[in-house]
Structure 1
Amino acid sequence: MAVFTALSEARLAAWVQHYAIGKIIDFHGIASGIENSNFFLTTTTGEYVLTIFEKLTAHELPFYLELMRHLAAHHVPVPDPMRRADGALFGMLMNKPAAIVTRLAGSPRLAPQVAHCAEVGRMLARMHIAGKDIPMYQPNLRGLPWWQDNVPAVLPYVTDSQHRLLTSELAYHQSFFASLDYAGLPGGPCHCDLFRDNVLFTSCDGRDALGGFFDFYFAGCDKWLFDVAVTVNDWCVDLNTGRLNQAQTQALLCAYHAVRPFTSSETEHWRNMLRAGAFRFWLSRLYDFYLPRDAHLLKPHNPAHFEQVLRERISADMLPWL
């Protein structure tokens, strides 16, 4: 993620003495994203990622770290948080909570093919099933209450057309989320941010294999269909038009369905969740674009892409499904 907190090697060396990970060989900041300060960390025992949490509090953090440990224990390939000498999964660094997790092998596929989408769908279903019995709960902190709080914050910066879309779409989702149909949708722990750059693939003999999911710091308990919609809106989209690629979408959904079959209610409300997923990211990108925080390596995303995606999900005559 973007580096908001500058960190010296001397300060880091003193802090990592609380972990059994050896001595530091190298560390450097990761320049993507806009939420936390992340660093690649190489020590005499291996490769890790250090995250300093800029917004999440020490009260909120255990859910994310325990979820990753739970998934790793259930053979879902995710970063595994390292325990400190006192048994804790995080400590305080530069007066902020911080954690060290294992670094997964592989690299993102930013121009995914049908086979990549199928692998992601299959693993996402496995992740949903594996997370069902985690004995912790935390809502999706970028869900409807966050939308209600932050739509007013961005309205002064947008055009009249965008103003109308933001307010009408918020009203639409408030109504849907209050319905019995919404309440009956299955759910549990979700990644909530499973974009192309949060999945790694490894290559062997010219073939790609899924290496793992990472960056769980937007995770929360939500409807599984929302998690699927967020994923499809990124993995299966034509970046120029915002439209869904039918072959990619069906590959992801069919692979998911083979592991955890969709319910009839999920089928009925597929468009609703695609709109919800697009709205969530349009709003957050508007917020980060117009109300940014300072960072050493900050690269805010252009919100125009998800406005285009949202308008297309609303207007499309047909949307790919199973």
Structure 2
Amino acid sequence: MAVFTPITNQEAAEFLGHYALGEFVSLRGITAGIENTNFFLNTTQGEYVLTVFEVLNHEQLNFYIELMHTLASRDVRVPMPQTLRDGKRIGTLKGKPAAIVDRLPGGYESDPGVQHCMIAARTQAQAHLAAKDFSLYQPNLRGLSWWEETYPAIQPFLTETQNTLFVSSLKEQREVQSGDEWKRLPAGACHCDMFRDNVLFDGTYENPRMGGIIDFYFAGHDAWLFDVAVAVNDWCIERSTGALTPWLVEAWLDAYAQVRPFTPEEKALWPVALRAAALRFWASRLNDFFRPRPAQTLKPHDPTHFERILALRVQQPPPPLP
């Protein structure tokens, strides 16, 4: 577990006192996450997740928390942020922003099949439409400008071949995302990090049920196509190589399109969006690997995974959008 901010039972109980959520029962660290400190929090009233935010400030968090609240209020399966007694949804714990949200049922599926992809894709499309009129704005903080800002810091760690791939990919994204066609893509508040470990399923493998989408703390305003590409690059691949699995890609895209059909511009830019999503996570994993923050226990993800994915997306055309 990435424990940036250790919390004692007494500290958690005192923080809980600012809510009307019952009395403290137990606190247990969650063995996932590299950005925030997360705990399962049990009270006499129910089960929740307590998050202490290590990077985002109160102002930035307002976007994420209110987005989750909006989606949950509109029957999209996401955690409902709890409201403090003072009417706010973000508190302060050990000098850092903190929040409590509902704990959703189920667990993530490490080897998703067609049914998992279809259910997750439909929920993703529902979330996009549900947030279409969301009034708050926060850019994707790990978007193109962040990739450009991060490159000089990670460049010394790249081989010549890696550097060539990174620079050429960054150049492509700079040119495409500054163009009118990209700017016309349907866009809005979206998750931007909808990996398989950020979606919970209940039920059985053969008959899964959506538990919900979690961990919205990389969410931002971006092209919905980018959000789809992020998910497909994780859910619909052969894990050891990063190659797309055609039947999983088709299942995801068909299910998504049943809720929100893709536009002609999205169909034209689909390969570029997949490369953008791969570059985003290669950049962040390089940054986490070579420039880690202090933590009690933190094992950064292997950056070569998304290097392979990006190289493949450059070389091989993906299945088209329906």
TM-score, structure 2 normalization: 0.98
Q: Distance in 2 between matches of 1:11 and 1:181?
A: 51
The answer to whether the 8 A contact 1:3-1:31 is kept is: no
Matched, 1:154 2:154: yes
Matched, 1:278 2:278: yes
The answer to whether the 8 A contact 1:144-1:174 is kept is: yes
Q: Distance in 2 between matches of 1:205 and 1:31?
A: 22
Describe the shift of the 1:175–1:258 C-alpha distance in structure 2 as closer, same or farther (beyond 3 A).
same
Matched, 1:235 2:235: yes
Partner in structure 2 of residue 195 of structure 1: 195
Describe the shift of the 1:73–1:128 C-alpha distance in structure 2 as closer, same or farther (beyond 3 A).
same
The answer to whether the 8 A contact 2:262-2:321 is kept is: no
Partner in structure 2 of residue 119 of structure 1: 119
What displacement does 1:278 show? Answer: 0.3
Matched, 1:129 2:129: yes
**Runs of 4+, deviation exceeding 2 Å:** 317-322
Q: Which amino acid aligns with 1:274?
A: L
Q: Deviations along 1:86-138, whole A, 9 cap, x unmatched?
A: 00001111110000000000011110001111111111100000001111111
The DSSP-based 3-state class of the residue aligned with 2:226 is: helix
What displacement does 1:296 show? Answer: 1.8
Q: Which amino acid aligns with 1:244?
A: L
Partner in structure 1 of residue 44 of structure 2: 44
Q: Distance in 2 between matches of 1:300 and 1:119?
A: 29
Partner in structure 1 of residue 252 of structure 2: 252
Q: Distance in 1 between matches of 2:43 and 2:218?
A: 27
TM-score, structure 1 normalization: 0.98
The answer to whether the 8 A contact 1:33-1:300 is kept is: no
**Within-5 A mapping of 1:1-322:** 2-203=2-203, 207-322=207-322
The answer to whether the 8 A contact 2:81-2:89 is kept is: yes
What displacement does 1:285 show? Answer: 0.2
The DSSP-based 3-state class of the residue aligned with 1:32 is: coil
What displacement does 1:318 show? Answer: 4.6
Q: Distance in 1 between matches of 2:258 and 2:220?
A: 24
What displacement does 1:299 show? Answer: 2.1
Describe the shift of the 1:13–1:156 C-alpha distance in structure 2 as closer, same or farther (beyond 3 A).
same
The answer to whether the 8 A contact 1:138-1:221 is kept is: yes
Structure 2: gaps spanning 5 or more residues: none
The answer to whether the 8 A contact 1:289-1:302 is kept is: yes
Describe the shift of the 1:74–1:317 C-alpha distance in structure 2 as closer, same or farther (beyond 3 A).
closer
What displacement does 1:204 show? Answer: 5.7
Q: Distance in 1 between matches of 2:252 and 2:205?
A: 24
Q: Distance in 2 between matches of 1:153 and 1:85?
A: 43
The answer to whether the 8 A contact 2:200-2:213 is kept is: yes
Q: Distance in 2 between matches of 1:53 and 1:288?
A: 17
The DSSP-based 3-state class of the residue aligned with 1:269 is: helix
The DSSP-based 3-state class of the residue aligned with 2:59 is: coil
The answer to whether the 8 A contact 2:147-2:280 is kept is: yes
Q: Which amino acid aligns with 1:259?
A: V
What displacement does 1:31 show? Answer: 2.2
- How many residue pairs match? The answer is 322
Bigger shift: residues 65-74 or 30-39: 30-39
The answer to whether the 8 A contact 2:242-2:309 is kept is: yes
The percent of aligned pairs where both chains have the same amino acid is: 49
Describe the shift of the 1:279–1:315 C-alpha distance in structure 2 as closer, same or farther (beyond 3 A).
same
What displacement does 1:319 show? Answer: 3.6
What displacement does 1:321 show? Answer: 3.6
Q: Distance in 1 between matches of 2:205 and 2:240?
A: 32
Q: Which amino acid aligns with 1:260?
A: R
Bigger shift: residues 6-15 or 141-150: 6-15
The DSSP-based 3-state class of the residue aligned with 2:40 is: strand
Describe the shift of the 1:10–1:318 C-alpha distance in structure 2 as closer, same or farther (beyond 3 A).
closer
Q: Distance in 2 between matches of 1:60 and 1:317?
A: 37
What displacement does 1:3 show? Answer: 1.5
